[in-house]
Amino acid sequence: MSPRNEQKRQVVQAQRFSDDAANTYNAYTAIQRANRLMHDADQLERMLEVERESDDPPLRDWYGLEIVSYYAVGLVTCLEWHARSRLTDLYTYRPHAIEKKALDGKINTEILAQMVGANVSIAQLLGASMAIGATDEYIGVFNRVFDVLEIKTPPDRIIQPTVGETRSLFGDVVREPTVRERLDRLFEARHSLVHEIGITRSASPAISENWSVSEVLLDCPR
């Protein structure tokens, strides 16, 4: 296949939605994968705890293991595919929900020809083409889904439980971070890792903003 006729990235990804044999690009799989990552982090924390309590714990760098921070990459990928699959489901079963702006810049004659050849639907292509790079974009997909399905309770209200508050020794109010704040931190950490942005990733590992396993378990919403 010549470079000009190379299959477009979004068509390749859309084929994964349409692959009935694999049947993994769906919301259920995305959620299960996120749960598996959190289970993995929990196991790692238990192993590290055993090390810390041993009579002769191994000597480790004080700034932690950089690989632990990459849980953020896997978890954001799960969020991205969760949103994409729900959008694909919406467009598949409620095609009237497809707006003109959703098609802008996504489809041209070359892509259309490749879609036909790959047996990919418009809904699958739009889901695969959706960029989910921030909390607002993630929540925005579900705002759209809820709006079309006429679900009155906003997604923000569903994902956010009551925020617990306590008071410090000095009387200041201390509250748990909201789900949106946790998602923001997760997306920001993922972007920093993937793009290696800033001095905290390009200089000495001693100044890297590495996550600990306990931070992953605490800060990543489930």
What is the mean predicted confidence (pLDDT) over 166-178?
Answer: 66
Domains of the chain: total? 1
pLDDT of residue 38: 94
**DSSP at 6:** P
Q: Does 21 fall in a domain?
A: yes
pLDDT of residue 1: 47
**DSSP at 105:** T
pTM exceeds 0.85, yes or no: no
Q: Does 78 fall in a domain?
A: yes
Q: Does 2 fall in a domain?
A: no
pLDDT tens string 75-131: 999 999 999 999 999 999 999 999 888 888 778 888 888 888 888 888 888 888 888
Whose structure tokens read 């896997």?
Answer: 74
What is the mean predicted confidence (pLDDT) over 153-175?
Answer: 72
pLDDT of residue 111: 86
Q: Does 181 fall in a domain?
A: yes
Write down the H helix ranges in the chain.
9-18, 27-53, 71-93, 100-103, 109-118, 122-129, 135-148, 155-159, 179-195, 199-202, 213-219
pLDDT of residue 164: 62
Quick check: 26 and 82 in contact, CB under 8 A? no
Alpha-carbon 215 to chain mean position: 17
Q: Does 111 fall in a domain?
A: yes
What is the mean predicted confidence (pLDDT) over 44-63?
Answer: 85
